């Protein structure tokens, strides 16, 4: 791995065994984006890759005879107003109102390792040989503003992590109106854009559309990354690229606030990708001596298809974005009382649920919404983070100890960023609400958002929750966020700083997460936002797992988990078995299928076990035994391969293969049963061709097994008997395959 600077040609070459990324200092001092893609060998000069042609309407940036025009140049970090009419990466408004800036190269540093981004989540290294970082300093002489572009190239992975910093060095302040985390320009537009879009209960569906001239993209303006609707991710794939073959460029933003991910194709077939904080709701005043840091964008290149790109994100995010005690640990199997009781519970009911959970092998009991203040419905109580002792006479401390005595760990639900107007907190501090003066404050689920741009609000909430954590035996926190932001305005910021509210809010949330995770390092945090409405890399930095969706129907979950796996590792995907008929859809799916699908994630139950028959309780017990055996493989020690897409056919298929390829767990799930149907072969992936595997699966409660070599399993596939699917329930039936190598195969791999 190396970041090389060729002084004579003014070219930076970021290259490892996988990728090359070339930046050139142009004759006018600005930076050009010469190449990004598969590794090419290094040479002193790549200037011939620069394209310059005389064209009508050319606005030339240098004196004659140059033809250098910003409109036709693949710029590294384009700014507004000097001849490029495409969307810029940076716009700064100066005191005289001008938005024109020209940033030219001043200096650069190349260092081993990766510096942290202050106050922001970001990927990291554990030792300096894992990555190298280039920082290029540019300067705009008129506004006296410095721009630092940062690039970290990871050693073993086709990954470049980027961000920008803007520092005001002159006396007059500037207003940053737009500051992207990354900009990349490609020659050609032969791409399709992949995005993860949806809505509540159908989050992160995979959508693909061809690029066209003009703008296309996704944007989140809800204050919680893209909410359930959009995810801070896009990929550009070649039209022929499939899950397992072909070229793809992924862009993922490590941020949980408003974002923009945009492509722009010019009529000359240049494609610009921009990713960063959405400029729609953003403006940041920078005074002398101040620095603004953009969130980090993580770019992945792969020539092994979408699945190849996903595996890189999984590896990086699982080990170098997630942090702390739980990062590499098997996740506890939990029972959450929400769908079992909703608000209708008392202490005895909870203890009864916990005893039942213990019987089947559950390890963690989670008390969801409804334990605090006057919270007997969703009209009141948010903000009152003290126990409702009418419902739980022993208090949270007492209850947690009783649950521990049963032999389970105890977890608690909170929604720290929110307030109900019917709460003691609101009565004492009505000014804590984020709202615009003289305007109606829209509510959602009868709740409002706290002004986390204010330190004293964050401190107040911190002190309440830290007290409970200190006084109780709490091993897990589910941190929910159940509404989008509206009328954002902070009474504590001046008129010239209102554009900062949305980002400052996120910085407040991150600071509270940072404080709580460092004060209580062994508590497992699970993030949540009405299910999966804030499922992003930023959250993963603080909370190693996230509730994937409120939709727990196994058939719907196939799509949601398939789409989520495009970027996010299975160790992050909160997945539970719930009751039937399903509470979101009224659909009934077999318990075996619900278990099998939920096992490809963190796993748990979200129902009242008292409502299950003895036979179903046996099935649950066996599921938990299986998950305990397989969770290390699934959550921390495997590569994930998507095999059959629920967006394309009747079947969903995927497999987790251990790093040494000696073990695997695969799922085949069908939507509707087919009558008098054709034959079905389930082709696996990721196995060792020459290894013989014992394949074990269950049909109608009877265990079966056979052996076959990896090549046969991958290329000829497993013949699936339609009868077996019928025995597994017909509609929505699943088959769960476990594979063990007959003789171990060893392979060495990095993180
Ligand atoms: C959100 C969550 C659910 C549950 C409820 C409680 O909808 O996604 O899992 O915690 O809030 O109000």
Cα 417 to ligand 1 centroid, rounded to whole Å = 14
CA distance 170 to 145: 7
377 annotated active-site: no
For residues 110 and 132, the answer to whether their CB atoms sit within 8 Å is yes
At residue 53, the pLDDT reads 85
How many A from CA of 652 to the centre of ligand 1? 27
Cβ of 481 below 6 Å from ligand 1: no
Residue 372 CB–ligand 1 contact under 6 Å:
no
Across 288-303, average pLDDT:
98
**Residue 168 burial by CB count (10 A; 0-12/13-18/19+): exposed, middle or buried?**
buried
In this structure, are residues 751 and 319 in contact, taking their beta carbons and an 8 Å threshold? Answer: yes
* Mean pLDDT, range 356-379, rounded to an integer: 98
Among candidate residues 250, 251, 248, 270, the one with its CA nearest the CA of residue 260: 251
Whether the pLDDT of residue 749 is over 60: the answer is: no
Residue 750 has pLDDT above 70, yes or no: no
Ligand 1 binding pocket mutation candidate from 341, 343, 369 (most atoms within 8 A of CB): 369
- Cβ of 531 less than 6 Å from ligand 1: yes
CA distances from 226 to 81, 197, 255, 511 (A): 29, 9, 10, 21
C-alpha 295 to ligand 1 mean position (Å): 28
Beta strands in 169-269, from DSSP E residues, in sequence order: 174-187, 192-199, 202-210, 214-220, 233-237, 248-254, 259-265
> Residue written as tokens 């702390």?
324
Burial classification of residue 665, based on how many CB atoms lie within 10 Å of its CB (0-12 exposed, 13-18 middle, 19 or more buried): buried
Whether 738 has a pLDDT exceeding 80, the answer reads yes
Which residues, in sequence order, are CB contacts of 678 under 8 Å at separation 6+?
none
Query: In sequence order, what are the residues at sequence separation of 6 or more whose Cβ sits closer than 8 angstroms to the Cβ of residue 179?
Result: 89, 90, 164, 166, 276, 277, 284, 292, 294
Q: Is residue 642 over pLDDT 90?
A: yes
| pLDDT at residue 743 in the model | 66
The whole-chain average pLDDT of the chain stands at 96
pLDDT grade for 424, boundaries at 50, 70 and 90:
very high
Q: For 673-729, write each residue's pLDDT tens digit.
A: 999 999 999 999 999 999 999 999 999 999 999 999 999 999 999 999 999 999 999
> Tell me, what's the pLDDT at 56?
87
Instruction: Give the chain's domains with CATH numbers.
Output: 78-317 (2.70.98.60), 334-417+458-483+510-634 (3.20.20.70), 644-746 (2.60.40.1180)
- Residue 732, ligand 1, Cβ within 6 A: no
Catalytic-labelled residue, pool 140, 480, 536, 551: 480
Identify which of 337, 420, 528 to mutate to test ligand 1's pocket (most ligand atoms within 8 A of the CB): 528
Residue bearing the CA closest to ligand 1, atom 6: 369
Residue nearest to atom 7 of ligand 1 (CA): 530
Chain segment 118-171, per-residue pLDDT in tens: 999 999 999 999 999 999 999 999 999 999 999 999 999 999 999 999 999 999
pLDDT at 64: 81
Ligand 1: distance of its center to the CA of 480 in Å?
7
Instruction: Flag whether pLDDT at 399 surpasses 80.
Output: yes
CB 55 within 8 Å of CB 129:
no
Q: Is the pLDDT of residue 520 over 90?
A: yes
Ligand 1 mutation target, pool 480, 539, 583, most atoms within 8 A of CB: 480
The model's pLDDT over 554-586, given as tens digits with 9 standing for 90+, comes to 999 999 999 999 999 999 999 999 999 999 999
Among protein residues, the one whose CA lies closest to atom 12 of ligand 1: 369
Q: What is the pLDDT of residue 63?
A: 84
Whole-angstrom Cα distance, residue 462 to residue 513?
9
Confidence of residue 34 (pLDDT cuts 50, 70, 90): very high
CA distance 416 to 418: 6
- pLDDT for 54 equals 86
> Is any ligand 1 atom within 6 A of the Cβ of residue 369?
yes
Which carries the bigger pLDDT value, residue 57 or residue 101? Answer: 101
pLDDT at residue 746 in the model: 44
Select from 236, 311, 331, 414 the least CA-distant residue to 627.
331
Q: How much is the pLDDT for 225?
A: 82
Rounded to an integer, the average pLDDT of 528-552 is 98
Is the pLDDT reported for residue 1 higher than 80? no
User: Using CA atoms, how far apart are residues 535 and 256, in angstroms rounded to an integer?
Assistant: 8
Does 643 score more than 50 pLDDT?
yes
Active site residue 610: no
């Amino acid at each position: 791995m190396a970041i090389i600077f060729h002084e004579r040609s003014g070219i930076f070459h970021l290259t490892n065994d996988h990728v090359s990324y070339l930046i050139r200092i142009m004759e006018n001092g600005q930076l050009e984006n010469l190449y990004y893609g598969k590794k090419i060998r290094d040479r002193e000069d790549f200037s011939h890759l620069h394209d310059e042609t005389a064209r009508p309407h050319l606005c030339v940036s240098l004196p004659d005879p140059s033809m250098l025009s910003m409109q036709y140049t693949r710029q590294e970090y384009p700014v507004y107003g000097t001849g490029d009419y495409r969307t810029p990466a940076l716009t700064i408004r100066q005191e005289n109102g001008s938005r024109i800036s020209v940033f030219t190269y001043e200096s650069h540093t190349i260092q081993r390792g990766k510096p942290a981004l202050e106050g922001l989540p970001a990927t990291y290294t554990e030792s300096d040989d894992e990555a190298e970082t280039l920082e290029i300093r540019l300067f705009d002489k008129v506004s006296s503003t410095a721009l630092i572009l940062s690039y970290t190239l990871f050693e073993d992975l086709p990954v470049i992590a980027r961000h920008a910093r803007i520092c005001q060095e002159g006396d007059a302040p500037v207003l940053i109106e737009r500051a992207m985390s990354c900009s990349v320009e490609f020659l050609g537009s032969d791409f399709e854009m992949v995005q993860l879009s949806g809505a509540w209960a159908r989050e992160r569906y995979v959508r693909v559309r061809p690029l066209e001239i003009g703008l296309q993209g996704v944007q989140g303006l809800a204050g919680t990354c893209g909410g359930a609707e959009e995810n801070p991710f896009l990929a550009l794939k070649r039209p022929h690229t499939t899950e397992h073959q072909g070229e793809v460029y992924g862009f993922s933003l490590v941020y949980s606030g408003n974002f923009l991910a945009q492509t722009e194709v010019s009529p000359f077939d240049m494609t610009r990708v921009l990713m960063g904080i959405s400029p729609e709701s953003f403006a940041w005043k920078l005074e002398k001596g101040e620095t603004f840091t953009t969130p980090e964008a993580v770019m992945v290149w792969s020539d092994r298809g979408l699945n190849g790109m996903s595996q890189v994100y999984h590896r990086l995010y699982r080990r170098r974005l997630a942090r702390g005690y739980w990062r590499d640990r098997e996740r506890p199997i939990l029972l959450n009382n929400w769908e079992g009781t909703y608000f209708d519970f008392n202490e005895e009911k909870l203890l009864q649920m916990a005893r039942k959970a213990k019987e089947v092998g559950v390890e963690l009991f989670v008390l969801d919404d409804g334990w605090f203040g006057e919270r007997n419905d969703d009209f009141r109580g948010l903000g009152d983070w003290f126990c409702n002792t009418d419902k739980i006479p022993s208090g949270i401390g007492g209850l947690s100890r009783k649950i521990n005595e049963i032999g389970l760990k105890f977890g608690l639900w909170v929604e720290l960023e929110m307030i109900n107007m019917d709460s003691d907190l609101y009565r004492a501090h009505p000014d804590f609400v984020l709202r615009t003066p003289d305007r109606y404050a829209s509510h959602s689920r009868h709740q409002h958002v706290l002004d986390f741009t204010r330190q004293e609000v964050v401190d107040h909430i911190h002190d309440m929750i830290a007290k409970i954590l200190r006084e109780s035996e709490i091993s897990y926190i589910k941190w929910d966020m159940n509404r989008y932001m509206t009328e954002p305005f902070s009474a504590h910021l001046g008129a010239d700083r209102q554009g900062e509210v949305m980002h400052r809010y996120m910085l407040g949330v991150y600071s509270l997460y940072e404080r709580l995770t460092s004060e209580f390092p062994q508590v497992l945090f699970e993030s949540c936002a009405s299910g999966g409405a804030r499922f992003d890399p930023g959250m993963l930095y603080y909370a190693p797992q996230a509730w994937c969706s409120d939709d727990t129907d196994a058939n719907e979950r196939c799509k949601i988990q398939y789409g989520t796996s495009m970027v996010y590792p299975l160790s992050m995907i909160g997945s539970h078995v719930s009751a039937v008929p399903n509470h979101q859809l009224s659909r009934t799916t077999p318990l075996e299928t619900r278990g099998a699908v939920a096992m490809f994630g963190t796993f748990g139950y979200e129902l009242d076990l008292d409502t299950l028959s003895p036979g179903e309780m046996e099935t649950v017990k066996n599921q938990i035994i299986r998950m305990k055996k397989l969770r290390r493989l699934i959550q921390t020690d495997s590569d994930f391969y998507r095999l059959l897409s629920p967006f394309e056919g009747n079947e969903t298929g995927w497999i987790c293969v251990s790093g040494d390829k000696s073990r695997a767990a695969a799922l085949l799930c069908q939507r509707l049963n087919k009558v008098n149907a054709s034959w079905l072969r389930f082709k696996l992936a990721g196995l060792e061709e020459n290894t013989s595997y014992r394949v074990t699966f269950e049909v109608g409660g009877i265990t079966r097994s056979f052996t076959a070599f990896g090549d046969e399993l991958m290329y000829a596939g497993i013949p699936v008997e339609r009868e077996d699917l019928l025995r597994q329930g017909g509609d929505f039936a699943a088959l769960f395959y476990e594979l063990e190598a007959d003789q171990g195969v060893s392979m060495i791999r990095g993180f």
